[in-house]
Structure 1
Amino acid sequence: MNYKSAEEAILYPEYGRHVQNLVKYALTIEDMEKRQSIVDGIIVLMGQILPNTRSLEEQRDRFWNHIFHIADYKLNVTPPEGVEIIRVEDHPKPSPLAYPTGSARYRHYGMNVQELVKKALAMEDEEKKIEFVKIIGNYMKTAYRTWNSEHFVSDEMIINDLAKLSNGEFIIDEDMRFVSVVPQASGAKKVAKKGGRYGSTRTKSNNRSNNNNNRNNNRNKRKRY
């Protein structure tokens, strides 16, 4: 019994082991035309496995480079004109992303708020700074209500937190008001629609009963005369 763990590692799992085995098989073909035909067929198969992943030119270059990499660049075939085969080790490696080392002073607001506060402190135009601080306060109020929807968050609380985040450098008017945008639950909308539907049905039934009563009253009046 052959175990997968004992087989050769798959260089490109997105294509599966069969594509890798086909490339290895192409290496054993001595006839140049047959080998070229087999490799061209593998390219078509790779396009069927990963359709429309990129533009046609990028997709073609990618497939051919992957085939040569699987074959350890020992495959003697001719790629289409314009396709440049670049060895994997020659590809420039992207520089690693810097991991944030600081800690959020108010986790329910997130690290982005601290960065926005720093940006606001660097502004020289006072009018723009005030408007930007108001935008930050709106976001903080929304974030707080999203984090804890049951707890009431006042504008005074947001002003105090802004003052702490700016180390007292923000001078904010006590009358400044902030707006939070918290979407309503979808269930509430359904209940409202359901209630409206039943309400309209009840109204129609009430109108019908009233009309029937009016007709009966008219009939009784006619009998009296």
Structure 2
Amino acid sequence: MEYNTTRKKLIIAEYGRNLQSLVEQVCQMEDRDQRSRAAKSLVSVMAQLNPSQRDYVDYRRKLWDHLYIISDFKLDVDGPYDPPSPNTVHPTPQRLSYAGNKIRFSHYGRIIEKMIDVVSEYPENQEKEVLAPMIANYLKKSYLTWNLDSVTDDVILKQMNIMSKGRIAMDNSQPLWVANDLIVDPSSASKKNQKRKSIKHKNFRRK
């Protein structure tokens, strides 16, 4: 299980940890063109997750600003706007609205369920092909976070198919990330922090 003390800080709470995890996936993509396509797809999802943003002037630019902010300004893509400066941004998106219906898989959360609903409506095109594996990897990470047992890709893909009512379908031709790449071991994270502190202490004593 992943503990709150080892989880990364939630940068814009209104978008939730689900979207932040997807942004992290985009930042880790090695191919710039692939990163750029994935970033544009995420902005489209953000616009539909938070339609109230459309009331703002130049709302599309605001969404891109939020995307850069969520990435901690590490996102390097060919976007329609220049990245905002870390010293000048103050994100204040409106809180997402939630339906009162029960969540089928509670460990995934309501935001990812809504995100799947949004992506489910997309036509079968490249944008949907980019987002589907990103969402599947996040589902696998969430499953492993709240369940100590391992999980197969088949289980994750089946649950995504159920949540999307069959409108997002993937096969095993594109394997999901392995557990070690998705979950941080709290003990190893603690050891790394202790090692960093030890190095800083030694450097301080040398001065």
TM-score, length-scaled by structure 1: 0.38
TM-score, length-scaled by structure 2: 0.41
Comparing both chains, which one has the higher relative contact order based on Cα–Cα distances under 8 Å and sequence gaps of 6 or more? 2
The structure that has the greater radius of gyration is 1
